[in-house]
Structure 1
Amino acid sequence: MDRLQVEGSDRLARHEANGLYVIYWRRGEIFYKTKGSPESVAPSDRGVEPRRPEDETNLQGPERDNQFEGVFYRWNGKHREFLQHTPRGWLLTGISTDVIDEHMAVFKWQLIGLGVIVIAFGVAVGWIMATRAMKPIVAMSSTATKIAAGDLSQRIDETSTKNELGQLAHVLNDTFGRLDSSFEQQVRFTADASHEMRTPLAVILAKSELALVRERTPEKYQETIKTCYDSAQHMSSLIESLLELARVDSGEFKVQREQGNIGLEVSTCVDMLRPLAEKRGITVESDIQGIEMEFDAQRIRQVVINLLSNAVKYNHEQGKIFVRVRKENNEAVISVQDTGPGIKPDDLKNIFNRFYRVDKSRNSKQGSTGLGLAISQAIVQAHEGRLEAESDFGAGTTFRMRLPLK
């Protein structure tokens, strides 16, 4: 046999293995029949349904089968068969539905297996993705729990939240930071306030106890009463300052703006503090421009008096103070400059903190509580302005209050 015959035989053998069979009739007799062919099969069996473009007719016998050429199909029990009419006979090709059912059963189980694999893979991938998505939330919850327990130093690791939760983690860390700072400031504030209150109380108790130990002269009693009075005055000033800051922290601090001339208010404050400056030989020079605007006169006067008092307290003997009021870029700028020793850069950035004092020993002797600048800053901020400070250490300090014109 040549190569084509060999390939044809091999191909036919493969088809037979898959349940396909072929029968060829020639002159009414079976000329060729493959293995696996059913016994009850003939081209003249009833039930053959012809299919041709010109006509569709049910064949009744071999006489009509041989009248035209065409391809027909039929069901022969569990066999699906196709018939081809040729000039010399019939060619039948068929396949058992049992083979098809077996293939479909195998295909069904393959589909079921594939479905199970897809579902298992989807569940595994979903679990991994859900775990990764929940990990930052679990970390946030753990951090919040530790903070609620009192450890305010805890922060969320933002490097592990690169998705949309990263922004939330950043906001929460910022909130935790401000909360930590607020608690720390509150603790420090309470400790400093207690310390400030303890000193004058200790003085009053010591002086009173000393006066009661034995009888004193009127002069000694008068000295004791004067010391107790000064200490009480210091405590009263401290309590007023604390109440003022408490209103700031609670949001109850308000300013009552009214139309007025801020330059005139600053001039009034300068005239009020000038005798105190002249007592120390300090010269006060002013360059004040009258500016009409809306402001709380009482509060602004409080700020200016505090800045002028500091300029007098912390100035050299025979020093100078320069007070200016001018308009700059739609702002009223009030500056107070002194020729005192100045402030070191490390101290300058903390001077607006509560109870912060550059020279603690000197300030305590002068009756300073370290709250004046903090209150002044709160007043200026309530006016939507800024209180700035700059200092040339050894040459003097300048405070500038900038208020927007409305």
Structure 2
Amino acid sequence: MRFRLVHQISALLLGTVALAVVAMGGLVAWNLRSGFSEYLRAQDAQFLDRVMLVAENDLRRHGGLPDGDLRERLHAWVDATAPRPQRQPGWALDEPADPPDGAEPAALPRPPRGLRRDQPPPPPRPPRDAANWGPRLLLLSLDGQLLAGRREMFYLPGQTRALKIEGRELALLRLAERVGGAEGVDARFLRRQYLGIGGVALALLLLALVAARLLARRWVRPLQQAQAAARRMAHGEFEVRIAQGERDDELAELTQDLNAMAASLQRLESGRRHWIAQLSHELRTPLAVLRGELEALADGVRPWDRRALQSLQDEVRRLSRLIDDFHTLACSDLRSLPCRFAELQPQALIEAAAERVQERARAAGLRLQLDLPAELPPVRWDADRIGQLLANLLENSLRYTDAPGQIVLRARRLGAMLIIDVEDSAPGLPPAALAQVFEPLYRAEASRSRASGGSGLGLTIALALARSHGGRLSAEASSLGGLRLRLELPIHPPEAMR
């Protein structure tokens, strides 16, 4: 049988309560016994004081220790000191009064001799020596010799009183301690207390068992629900959600985290399926063009010339570029995008990236403007990766900016970061689409035309390259009416990136 978590929590709670109950019960029992022992010693001391008074009065009448058997005197002292039944208020030991003149006496049963008819009978007579004082009382000489009493009690510890007449000590009275503890009524009282303590302890343990079981079930139930949900998610059921209820503790936070994880996995699965569909579509287009071109050449519909060969090379080049982009994204997802960091001048790198697209921008009716400070600090970047990143940002503006239009490339230093902005003119993007421009294969069809081509992976790859340097890439609306892409790169990337 598996020792499940509910059993462990129940055992822990029950064990803790049992330990506390046993410790408290033991302490109470010890304290009760210790206090009761003090009570019994005080009771013995009171009895010994009473016997001493009786004995001194008896010795004073005899003028000292009497001759003969002192054991009889010792018994007489005990009998004179032992408790006797007390008369209740209203008891009358005189004869009943005569009835008034002319009145008949009431026909009542005759009460016991000495009691009036209107009084209840007395309670039963208590035992004369309930605490067993008599057998424990000893009479000793001044030098400690046993004069009267049981010899076996002589060797036990006890309390001692000196018998004096007019200041002269005659003998010693000694009351040995109780050998077996409490006896008679005292023993029954102590037994009832022990039974009461045991009963309360047992009731507390049973209550703790029930409470531990209920609490353990209440604590474990959310974990069981989380376990069941995790198993369903492991089998691909990402739509599963756990009811949170009204809890406000760590288990509620665990439930929220699992629901968030399920939602994230559901989005990832949906994105994966969308990615596969888009990928197949992107690969199908150049392959379909290649197949159509080859079939036309094979059927003789199209002559084999330099123009046909150039068309085939363009489609193969497009297909190769698409495959390279997918490979770059796969490497970035695996966090293994290789970078070779070296000291370089960022101004030269930015000017080179702008110069490579200057002719294409002019041909497309766009004006490319550089806005750079007089001097930028040297940086430690991978020149090829950052060049590819800048090329992707500029390519995005070239493809999706209407003519006549404008593209502005800015750079500035902000603390330990270098900020590079690429802004373009209309058309822009709606605010809801700004957060999606970095998703793979995303195109805002309504405002950015697909007729200009492109794989839809340029900004996604740019984001991966920025992260490989410990930087950030964000998109926002531009003051020129189009899109502004802001690249924030550390001048010296963290050691973990190098």
- TM, length-normalised to structure 2: 0.61
Rate the CA distance shift 1:392–1:113 in 2: closer, same or farther, 3 A: same
Rate the CA distance shift 1:114–1:361 in 2: closer, same or farther, 3 A: closer
Aligned position for 2:6: none
- Within the candidate set 229, 234, 257, 2:318 is matched to 234
Report the AA paired with residue 380 of structure 1: A
Query: Does structure 2 retain, via aligned residues, the 8 Å contact 1:136–1:161?
Result: no
Compare 370-379 and 154-163 and name the one that shifted more. Answer: 154-163
Structure 1 residue 330, shift from structure 2 partner: 3.2
Aligned position for 1:33: none
Say whether 1:6 aligns with 2:99: no
Say whether 1:182 aligns with 2:182: no
- Partners of 2:135 and 2:437 in 1: how far apart? 114
Say whether 1:315 aligns with 2:401: yes
- Partners of 1:389 and 1:232 in 2: how far apart? 32
Rate the CA distance shift 1:393–1:191 in 2: closer, same or farther, 3 A: farther
Say whether 1:216 aligns with 2:305: no
- Partners of 1:251 and 1:365 in 2: how far apart? 33
Across the aligned residues of Structure 1 and Structure 2, the Cα RMSD in angstroms comes to 4.2
- Partners of 1:307 and 1:46 in 2: how far apart? 113
Query: Does structure 2 retain, via aligned residues, the 8 Å contact 1:341–1:393?
Result: no
- Partners of 1:71 and 1:126 in 2: how far apart? 59
| 3-state DSSP of counterpart to 1:278 | helix
Query: Does structure 1 retain, via aligned residues, the 8 Å contact 2:423–2:478?
Result: no
- Partners of 1:229 and 1:362 in 2: how far apart? 27
Rate the CA distance shift 1:5–1:389 in 2: closer, same or farther, 3 A: same
Aligned position for 1:282: 366
- Partners of 2:164 and 2:432 in 1: how far apart? 117
Structure 1 residue 347, shift from structure 2 partner: 1.6
Query: Does structure 2 retain, via aligned residues, the 8 Å contact 1:341–1:394?
Result: no
1:150-165 correspondence to structure 2 within 5 Å: 150-159=236-245, 162-165=248-251
Rate the CA distance shift 1:320–1:107 in 2: closer, same or farther, 3 A: closer
Aligned position for 2:338: 254
- Partners of 1:313 and 1:260 in 2: how far apart? 29
- Within the candidate set 468, 471, 476, 1:382 is matched to 468
Rate the CA distance shift 1:276–1:99 in 2: closer, same or farther, 3 A: same
Structure 1 residue 402, shift from structure 2 partner: 1.6
1:97-176 correspondence to structure 2 within 5 Å: 97=183, 109-159=195-245, 162-176=248-262
Say whether 1:21 aligns with 2:130: no
Report the AA paired with residue 469 of structure 2: H
Structure 1 residue 335, shift from structure 2 partner: 1.7
Report the AA paired with residue 135 of structure 1: R
Gaps of 5+ in 1: 24-36, 81-94
| 3-state DSSP of counterpart to 2:127 | strand
- Within the candidate set 148, 151, 166, 1:60 is matched to 148
- Partners of 2:485 and 2:88 in 1: how far apart? 109
Say whether 1:348 aligns with 2:434: yes
The CA deviation string for residues 85-137 of structure 1, in whole angstroms up to 9 with x for no partner, is xxxxxxxxxx9x56566556655554543343222112112212222222232
Structure 1 residue 162, shift from structure 2 partner: 3.5
- Partners of 2:177 and 2:398 in 1: how far apart? 120
Structure 1 residue 57, shift from structure 2 partner: 6.7
Query: Does structure 1 retain, via aligned residues, the 8 Å contact 2:401–2:424?
Result: yes
- Within the candidate set 137, 152, 175, 1:48 is matched to 137
Rate the CA distance shift 1:177–1:257 in 2: closer, same or farther, 3 A: farther
Structure 1 residue 258, shift from structure 2 partner: 1.0
Say whether 1:243 aligns with 2:327: yes
Aligned position for 1:202: 288
Count of residues in correspondence between the two structures:
361
Aligned position for 1:294: 380
Query: Does structure 2 retain, via aligned residues, the 8 Å contact 1:323–1:337?
Result: yes
Query: Does structure 1 retain, via aligned residues, the 8 Å contact 2:401–2:425?
Result: yes
Query: Does structure 1 retain, via aligned residues, the 8 Å contact 2:138–2:173?
Result: no
Rate the CA distance shift 1:299–1:51 in 2: closer, same or farther, 3 A: farther
| 3-state DSSP of counterpart to 1:21 | coil
Structure 1 residue 264, shift from structure 2 partner: 0.6
- Partners of 1:379 and 1:75 in 2: how far apart? 95
Aligned position for 1:400: 486
Structure 1 residue 175, shift from structure 2 partner: 4.4
- Partners of 1:178 and 1:75 in 2: how far apart? 81
- Within the candidate set 459, 465, 477, 1:391 is matched to 477
- Partners of 1:217 and 1:169 in 2: how far apart? 65
Report the AA paired with residue 352 of structure 1: F
The CA deviation string for residues 244-293 of structure 1, in whole angstroms up to 9 with x for no partner, is 00000111113222111111111111111111011123222212234211
Query: Does structure 2 retain, via aligned residues, the 8 Å contact 1:143–1:156?
Result: yes
Rate the CA distance shift 1:217–1:153 in 2: closer, same or farther, 3 A: closer
Compare 181-190 and 251-260 and name the one that shifted more. Answer: 181-190
Compare 269-278 and 304-313 and name the one that shifted more. Answer: 304-313
Aligned position for 2:410: 324
Query: Does structure 2 retain, via aligned residues, the 8 Å contact 1:46–1:60?
Result: no
Identify the structure with the greater strand proportion. Answer: 1
| 3-state DSSP of counterpart to 2:330 | helix
The CA deviation string for residues 51-82 of structure 1, in whole angstroms up to 9 with x for no partner, is 99x99775539xxx998899876899x9x9xx
Gaps of 5+ in 2: 1-85, 92-118, 150-162, 493-498
Compare 180-189 and 142-151 and name the one that shifted more. Answer: 180-189
- Partners of 2:279 and 2:266 in 1: how far apart? 20
Query: Does structure 2 retain, via aligned residues, the 8 Å contact 1:189–1:355?
Result: yes
Rate the CA distance shift 1:153–1:8 in 2: closer, same or farther, 3 A: farther
Say whether 1:273 aligns with 2:366: no
The CA deviation string for residues 344-376 of structure 1, in whole angstroms up to 9 with x for no partner, is 212222111111111289654322111100110
Aligned position for 2:455: 369
Report the AA paired with residue 341 of structure 2: R
